[in-house]
Chains A and B, each alone.
Chain A
């Protein structure tokens, strides 16, 4: 079992003026294989820092991250990442983008082609595989990014606001796609978002983080992700419990934001 264990992770950045910022303080968390977790929080709560530590782009000042039995020491193919937008390689076609990971591993061409064709079918871009990525719409580009990440067979998928730049309709379709892929592939997924609704819909577990220092404020276990698989997400949103949770979390984040603003005003 490849569980993801975050063990007492703290992160402090030294500033040029001699001071320092505590971006994360004593964050501990265990994610079982195949769980999907969304992360919410006001700006400056260390969500992205946490994700960068998990991806291996940053080394924590204290504590450690362990995936399975291996300690995370740098970026690796077993932890794939989907970025907000603009992280595709525009000098490559759709097919080459999706096949990037396998190509880096030196996978034989036939095998690579099979994986790429299969994944482009899964994300619904089969007829676009020879296009240049800049010819695609924003939603299609994020499908390519998802397929590119999946092509590498990662154990954990880290998503940094992958749907943040999409319009509402495309976003809803993509949320359905994320749920479907999660259930079909059984990957562990961590998703950072600014949208409370998206966090509720896509989080089997939902982490609300608080700023100064960045820490876990509250954790929820929610039924909506399971209920949403293969369903119309609008039906899920109509559930009375969904509305209740949304209000609860929204006011929690509002309070935190007010506190930050008040602090800044003094």
Chain B
């Protein structure tokens, strides 16, 4: 039994590693681009600004941590490159055509096939293939039959698709008389083999039917990856008309509302709990097992239980986020209290402060930096948890939006949702940092 499991896991591991192996050239290419831009930028900088600032005058910079600050040029190039790659591989109209990756073949292509009968006669005929854009269906073009016993054929195929064509259907001697296709464009072919033609490939099926596969190029189909402008237009559309009976603002607003209420409740209970644990051995003993057990339980693991108990409405979501924030805030407040230097507490007492005054003027302000750090972590966890909870079950919300969209293969909505969720999460963190700088400027200065 165990051996079976290990064998299974080994198979999975091999699959993962081989996938990684095939990604290696792409990773290497990406690193190549990074190094190339670094080289270019170093060259530009030398021309633009001869070395004179403090950092560039240092003779030792490798290993000197203080010389490593985020290079904003690199950040800009990196973000722009992501969009350029995205646009290039989706054939976006935002990019000039020469930057596009090769697209799928669209238009008319031809190839000839050669049929040979059992008694050794053979004849050529031409196949006209019309590849039309997916939204613009077209009938197969009319073609003259031509001479000989093999007659010309035509077929219409949507871009990115392939089709089998019974070329012998209109021929005078067909498959039933054991005539077989032996050449495509003059190149020999047998069932199971493939031959390149001008606009793609033609393979011969096991029963001798040509399978026409126009070139798909390197671009992604919109169903896998829509172009940036498609995502943008979907964004404006949903922002004005809404999705699933709710406007975009409503979806995002509901998610934010849940996070803010859940986090606030969690902080309101967690911070006093942490203080009690930091100041009283009885409370510490009482809650230590509970907190230490609940902390490593991922909030996502509680989703099924919360749904069973409280349903999929707001109450359930807010209970979940409350629990996600509670333990983080309690532990932050506890370590904030235990982190107070005893000399500060002693100083306050010998300056005549009462217990209450020591708590109010020394312990609480001293713990604020730790509490802010915990709040930042808790907000991040809450944001992640609310999206996950909405993926499972919700009537409104950012997570619900992308989950429903994925069921309809609306990849543009999924990508739009992911970008919005990322932007909001980033914005929350930035706000928390700004509040921290403003409210606890003494952080790390004690």
Contacts and interface: CB of A to CB of B under 8 A. Distances in A.
Interface of A: 55-57, 74-77, 79-81, 83-84, 86-91, 100-101, 104-105, 132, 134, 148-149, 152, 158
A26 B357 CA distance: 35
Contacts, number: 75
Pairs A-B, 3 closest by C-beta atoms: A77-B352, A134-B445, A75-B349
A92 to B, nearest CB: 8
A87 B351 contact: no
B350 A76 contact: yes
Interface residues of B, number: 23
A87 B340 CA distance: 10
B58 interface: no
Contacts of B361: 89, 100, 104
A83 B342 CA distance: 11
Nearest to B353: A104
Nearest to B346: A57
A88 B351 CA distance: 12
B169 interface: no
A55 B365 CA distance: 24
Nearest to A148: B351
Given A84-B343, A91-B442, 9 more contacts: A77-B351, A77-B352, A80-B350, A81-B347, A89-B348, A90-B445, A100-B348, A104-B351, A149-B351
A96 to B, nearest CB: 9
A86 B446 contact: yes
B351 A100 contact: yes
B406 interface: no
Contacts of A89: 344, 348, 361-362, 365
Contacts of B343: 83-84, 86-87
Given A100-B361, A132-B442, A55 B346 contact: yes
Nearest to B348: A100
Contacts of A80: 350-351
Contacts of A57: 346, 349
Interface core residue of B352, B442, B445 (most chain A CB under 10 Å)? B352
Contacts of A149: 351
Interface in B3-55: none
Contact of B352 (A55, A86, A87, A152): A152
B161 interface: no
Nearest to A75: B349
A88 B354 CA distance: 17
A79 B350 contact: yes
Interface in B254-302: none
A88 to B, nearest CB: 8
